Amino acid sequence: CGERGTTAAWIKKHQPIYDRATRHPFIRSIWEGTVDFSAFKRWLAQDYIFVREFIPFVASVLLKACKHSGDEADVEVILGGLAALNDEISWFKKEASKWCVSLNSTPQNANLEYCRFLQSLTLPEVSYTVAITAFWAIEAVYQESFSLCLESDSKMPKELIGTCERWGNASFGQYCSSLQNIADRSLETASSVVLSEAEKAFVHVLENENYFWSMSLGE
Ligand code: HMH
């Protein structure tokens, strides 16, 4: 399935930036158990802002899927993702109060840029193929990153188990595979122009994810 698709080929082709996004020093510090909790709190406050912006983006992907995908199963996968964001917002609020983090903080530059990129992808002229590819990549980076922290050799502090499980659990992994399959199927029939736009969007997601983690470290 995913292994032979376009997305897998792009991961290989862009391996260095893919690794910078999925094996960032911030994630490594969680895995090692040396994470600075003030960096974690910074990440939490900034990621809440990102997720608020992610909602209209996912809604726009859902709309495009309803109009163009012609596959009810695709619509259901994306709808499930949107529904999960409802629970995620509640989780952020609970987690923020546990860590005494305010959810009204100012978005930092890396976050502002990433949110602007998300907004640009919600435009109707952006094709479903490009949007679903970006959507998969955004979710996959978190899945790869946090599932690493759950591996048996991880020294992740127990305070962060809820966070790591949110994106690292097996069912989130299944959901990411489904998104990857949808993206691959859509890429199979895409024009060369759309293919190149989708590849650019994929790389842009990875760059933004890398900056987002660095921002959490205060860099
Ligand atoms: C920055 N990327 C960022 N935040 C998230 N919550 C996700 C991806 C996954 O939903």
Q: For 150-198, how does the pLDDT look when each residue is reduced to its tens digit (9 = 90+)?
A: 999 999 999 999 999 999 999 999 999 999 999 999 999 999 999 999 9
Tokens, residue 75: 């619509």
Distance 118 CA to ligand 1 centre (A): 11
For tokens 């259901």, the residue is: 76
215 lines ligand 1 (CB under 6 A): no
Distance 51 CA to ligand 1 centre (A): 7
Q: Which pLDDT score is estimated for 206?
A: 98
pLDDT in tens, 88-118: 999 999 999 999 999 999 999 999 999 999 9
Which is the closest atom of ligand 1 to the Cα of 138? 8
Q: Is the pLDDT of residue 137 over 80?
A: yes
Select from 55, 194, 199, 52 the least CA-distant residue to 125: 194
Q: Which pLDDT score is estimated for 4?
A: 76
Q: Which pLDDT score is estimated for 2?
A: 43
Q: Is the pLDDT of residue 18 over 60?
A: yes
Query: Hey, how many other C-beta atoms are within 10 angstroms of the C-beta on 8?
Result: 14
Distance 50 CA to ligand 1 centre (A): 7
Residues 6+ apart with CB under 8 A from 182: 69, 71, 74, 77, 78, 132, 136
Q: Using alpha carbons only, give the angle 164, 167, 169 rounded to the nearest 5 degrees.
A: 85
Average pLDDT over residues 41-53: 98
Q: What is the mean pLDDT of the chain?
A: 96
Tokens, residue 85: 């964001």
Residue of 209, 211, 217 to mutate, ligand 1, most atoms within 8 A of C-beta: 209
- What proportion of the chain, given as a percentage, has pLDDT over 90? 95
What is the H or E stretch that residue 173 is in? helix 170-188
Q: How would residue 3 be classed by pLDDT, with cut points 50, 70 and 90?
A: low
Residues 6+ apart with CB under 8 A from 10: 199, 202
Q: Which pLDDT score is estimated for 31?
A: 96
Residue ranges of alpha helices (H) inside 65-189 are 72-98, 109-121, 128-148, 161-168, 170-188
199 lines ligand 1 (CB under 6 A): no
For tokens 């499930």, the residue is: 80
Question: Does 3.30.830.10 match the CATH number of domain 2-216?
Answer: no
Q: Which pLDDT score is estimated for 12?
A: 97
Q: Using alpha carbons only, give the angle 198, 206, 46 rounded to the nearest 5 degrees.
A: 120
What is the H or E stretch that residue 171 is in? helix 170-188
Give the range among 3-7, 201-205, 212-216 with minimum mean pLDDT. Answer: 3-7
Query: Hey, how many other C-beta atoms are within 10 angstroms of the C-beta on 136?
Result: 27
55 lines ligand 1 (CB under 6 A): no
Q: Is the ipTM of this complex over 0.85?
A: yes
Distance 142 CA to ligand 1 centre (A): 6
142 lines ligand 1 (CB under 6 A): yes
Q: Is 69 helix (H, G, I), strand (E, B) or coil?
A: helix
Q: Is the pLDDT of residue 212 over 80?
A: yes
Q: How would residue 54 be classed by pLDDT, with cut points 50, 70 and 90?
A: very high
> What residues are labeled active site?
209
84 lines ligand 1 (CB under 6 A): no
Tokens, residue 5: 């698709």
- What proportion of the chain, given as a percentage, has pLDDT over 70? 98
